[in-house]
A and B are shown apart, each in its own frame.
Chain A
Amino acid sequence: MNKIKKFSIYLIALAITVLLSACSGGANNSNSSSNDGYTLSISGSTSVGPLAEKLAEQYEQKEEINIEINQIGSSAGITNSINGVSEIGMSSRDLKEEEVASGLTETIIAYDGIVVVTHPSNKVDDLTIDEVKQIFTGKVTNWQELGGDDLEIVVVSREDGSGSRDAFQEIVGYSSGELIKNSIIASGNGNIKNTVATNKHAVGFISFEYVDDSVQPIKINGVEATPENVLNQTYGLSRPFLFVYKDENLSEEGQGFIDFILSSDGQQIVAEAGIIPLK
């Protein structure tokens, strides 16, 4: 009995030391890697999120500030900024009337294009907006009807409440209720890209910055999805990236971050991220 007791006490002691040292190690580490300054809380769109992370990374090197970014979707981010949970909300869709009415100010930080993407092996590479609508509402269900191979179309959409989905549906012209019922619902741009990249039946829509070789971008009415074409308004599927906040909640530090984003340095980062700068 005594032996076990001793053994257990040793074990407890060991466990506590390990945990404590690990924790204090973690705490030290966190002190050295980030500054003791102001913590700016931002939450919202998973489309704006990666850009905001990049901007924050640069800004944190210049200023004594910690920027905490939670990617939880446009609607939730807007709600958070209304009730003060976050200082700034990120949105990838325009504000709804009741959201504007609650006293939010919006600042456009960049423009983004939405790209319809398919598996790289898909022969279809050009669609009209109307064809896109027919695909997403289930009127067209086989790639053959659009000049492709005889394959069933698998639609991949974002979840209800996603800013990308709202913006996409508004431009293409269908409502959530019209979306084909057996579409795969993926949470986040990365998830859609990944689902489309591994399925030769699939079609989905993602933000510009997520496009890479694993998926094939589709031309809309013959116009390629490029930043130039968004800016000269020939490419139709575009939307603003917004920072939203209540004026009375916005701190000096928050305003500083927004100023940085709108500066030429900030817009340079926007352009490097593959998103469309304001000018």
Chain B
Amino acid sequence: MNKIKDHLLRGILWFSSLLTIVILVTIIGYIFVKGYKLINFDFIFGDYSPTGGGGIWPMVVTTIYTIVISLLIATPIGIFAAVYLQEYAKQGRLVRIIRFATESLTGIPSIIYGLFGAVFFVATLNFGMSIIAASLTLTIIILPVVIRTTEEALKTVPQSYREGSLALGTTKLQTLLKVILPSAVPGILSGIILSMGRIIGESAAIFLTAGTVAALPEGIFSSARTLTVHSYLVTQESGDIELASAIGIVLIVIILVLNLTATYISKKLNKAD
């Protein structure tokens, strides 16, 4: 009796795993099969024409803009915040509040970030629907990721490094800048790469803050459309699944490369320890 039950449960485990794999492979496969024919040099580097045809270059540029701007702002803030939490702060109420806030930010759905961005950056600060409004919204979204990964990286820096450096008569700040942060670089880097993935995948928050103008941005105050938003709008407005899938392939490839790089770096890091 027990044997039968064992076999049954074992079967369910195999079946569930197979199902998971089949589902995920089907989706990726579907997107690749539907979209690969459209992928070529002109598709990626060609200018977009709102009246039909053309490439996705304006959306690629917009996506790069949002990545660069939000990382430029979030990375230093995130790193220094992590430094404070790990190296400077005494455990207590303030640290608990900071950690609670950071964790809460992680759980907020992106549509709420979109609402906030729309009322704060777009309307109150009067940036209008623009790349800068979207990037600042994204900055808050990725801040917790940067803080968490940097903290993890700082934790792995051996205490002896700090003691050794301080013993040589350097100040805490010098120790931090010359010894601790440099040895935490790989960990920080993998956090940055993960945030890039998050930015690329984001849609709802950008949709409400950057608008949907499908043209090369003139500058950071232009309204524009990222790749992910483009793939949504193409599906929704024209039902062009092949085009949406082709954009999907570009997105998936970028994210896979980013994630593999992050994994590679953190593996190297672990080995070194």
Contact = CB atoms under 8 A, between A and B. Distances in A.
Contact of A68 (B61, B182, B213): B213
Interface string B234-272: 001111000000000000000000000100010011001
Contacts, number: 92
Counting from the closest, the 5 A-B pairs by CB-CB distance are A194-B239, A26-B61, A190-B237, A30-B216, A53-B50
A188 B237 CA distance: 6
A66 B221 CA distance: 14
Contact of B212 (A3, A7, A70): A70
Interface residues of A, number: 37
Interface in B49-100: 49-51, 57, 60-61, 64-65, 67-68
Most A CB within 10 A of own CB, among B65, B67, B212, B215: B215
Given A66-B218, A197-B239, A53 B51 contact: yes
A53 B51 CA distance: 7
B129 A22 contact: no
Interface in B174-215: 182-183, 185-186, 189, 211-213, 215
20 contacts: A1-B272, A4-B272, A8-B186, A8-B265, A26-B60, A26-B65, A29-B57, A29-B216, A30-B61, A30-B216, A33-B216, A39-B218, A53-B51, A68-B223, A69-B213, A70-B213, A188-B236, A190-B237, A191-B239, A197-B239
Contact of B211 (A1, A72, A197): A72
Interface of A: 1, 3-5, 7-9, 11-12, 19, 22-23, 26, 29-30, 33-34, 39, 50, 53-54, 57, 66, 68-72, 85, 187-188, 190-191, 193-194, 197-198
Interface of B: 47, 49-51, 57, 60-61, 64-65, 67-68, 128-129, 182-183, 185-186, 189, 211-213, 215-218, 222-223, 236-239, 261, 265, 268-269, 272
B223 A4 contact: no
A8 B213 contact: no
A53 B50 CA distance: 7
Most A CB within 10 A of own CB, among B65, B239, B268: B239
- From DSSP, what is the main secondary structure of chain B's interface residues? helix
Nearest to A39: B218
A39 to B, nearest CB: 7
A198 B239 contact: yes
B236 A50 contact: no
A68 B215 contact: yes
Contacts of B68: 19, 23
Contact of B128 (A26, A53, A85): A85
A50 B68 CA distance: 31
A191 B233 CA distance: 9
